[in-house]
Amino acid sequence: MGLFSWHRAVIKVGSALIAPDGQGCTGQFLLPIARYISECRQQGKEIVIVSSGSVAAGRGLIAHGEVPSIAEKQAMAAVGQTKMMANWARFFDFPCAQILITHDDLADRRRYVNIKNTIRELLNNGILPIVNENDSVATQELKVGDNDNLGAMVAQVSDADLLMICSDIDGLYTADPRSNPKAELIDNVDLVDHSIYALAGGTTNKIATGGMRTKIEAAEKATFNGIHTLIVNGRKGQVFDKLLQKEQQGTWFKRQATPKKARKHWLQYTLKSQGDISLDKGAEQAVLTKGASLLSIGITAASGSFQKGDAVYLINQQGERIAKGISQYSQLELTKIQGKQSQQIVDILGYCPSDVIIHRDDLVIL
C-alpha cells in the first residue's frame, strides 16, 4: 500500500498550527487541512484528528504568572478545550466528536477496548473523532507528554493505516535547515534507526514544537505497528492540495509490516492469553470460514479469570485452539450470557457494552 491508497488516517495537528501565537485558536492554518479532510471523506476515506492546543486556547482566560503552575495550565486546558473543539467544528458540515484520553486509558486493557469501540462507532456513523490528551486532569505520571506519540498510539487503537503529522517544518532534514543552508529534505525513510534519531540532534534541538525527536519516535512506533507515517508542513496550504493530486510531500516513513500482519503478530505472540472460550459447531464455522465476530449464542463455556480487554483462546468441540482474540466481556459475565441471544444481554447483566463478544478485527485465526 502506497502513500495514497490508505483507508483510515490519523492526522495529528500541533499547537503551532492551532494557536500560532500561543494565545487562543485561529483558523489561519486550519482551513487547507480541513478542506483536505473533507475531500478525503468524500472519497470514502476515514479520518481521526489528534489535536493539540487546548492550553494555548485557554491561556488568555486564566490569570497566571510568568510560568503557569500545573493547576493554572489544567484550568487553561479545561476552558480551552471547548474553544479548540469549536474552532475545528466551524470548518465542517458534518458532526465532530471529542475524545479526551490519558496514558493510563491506553495502558488499561478495558479502557483501551472502550476507546477502540467508541472510535469504531463514531467512524461507522460518519462522525469525525477529535482526540486530545486530557490535560485538565492528567498528572505528570499519566501523561503521554506529547501529541506526536499520542498520535501514534491513537493510530494503533483506531486501526489506521496512515499517521500524518502536520508540523511547522517541511519534514526530516539532513541537518537543521534553520541554521544550515545546506540541509536537504529527506523524502523517504525505510527504517527508523540510530542514524535517523541522530538527525534530530538529540532533545535539545527543538526543531519544531515538541521537537523532531518526538516525531521520529511516533514514526518508529507507528511503522513498527504496520502504519505508514508522513511528516508534512501544516503551515503550507499547497501541501494538502498536492497530496490530493497524489504528489508526495514531506518525509515518508515506510511501515515495517502490513497492519494486519503487525496486529496478528501482536495478538498471537505479545498478548498473553488469560483464559479460554469454548464454541459450538456453528460459532466455530462462523469464525473460521465467514470471518464473523463471535456472538454470545455460540459460546458453550468460559474458563480462566479473564477480564474485559484480555486475550483469550477460542476452543472448538475437540478441545483444539482455533483462534485468539480480545474479549469484550469478563469470564464472570460470559458464564451468565453464554448460549443467549445478543439482545438478551442487557436483560441478564443490566448493561450491554457490546453486541459481540469478540469483534472480528480483534481476532486472529491460529
CATH of 271-365, one of 2.30.130.10, 2.130.10.10, 3.40.50.1820, 3.40.50.80: 2.30.130.10
Whether domain 8-261 has CATH 3.90.380.10: the reply is: no
Cα 200 from Cα 116, distance rounded (Å): 32
First to last CA, the chain: 25
Q: Please tell me the predicted confidence (pLDDT) of residue 145.
A: 63
Q: Are strands 96-101 and 128-133 parallel, antiparallel or unpaired?
A: parallel
SS3 201: coil
Cross-strand bridge partners of residue 248: none
User: Can 8-261 and 271-365 be said to share one CATH topology?
Assistant: no
CA triple 346-347-352, angle to 5 deg? 5
Q: Dihedral sign, CA of 26, 30, 35, 40?
A: negative
pTM of the model: 0.81
193-197 CB contacts, 8 Å cutoff, 24+ apart: 196/172
Per-domain residue ranges of the chain: 8-261, 271-365
- Kindly state the DSSP code that residue 57 receives in the 8-state scheme: H
SS3 343: helix
Residue type, 101: I
Q: Please tell me the predicted confidence (pLDDT) of residue 248.
A: 92
Dihedral over alpha carbons 106, 112, 118, 121 (to 10 degrees): 120
Residues of the chain with pLDDT under 50: 202-210
Q: Each residue of 14-45: pLDDT tens digit? A: 888 988 887 778 888 999 999 999 999 999 99
Cell match 453486541: residue?
A: 355
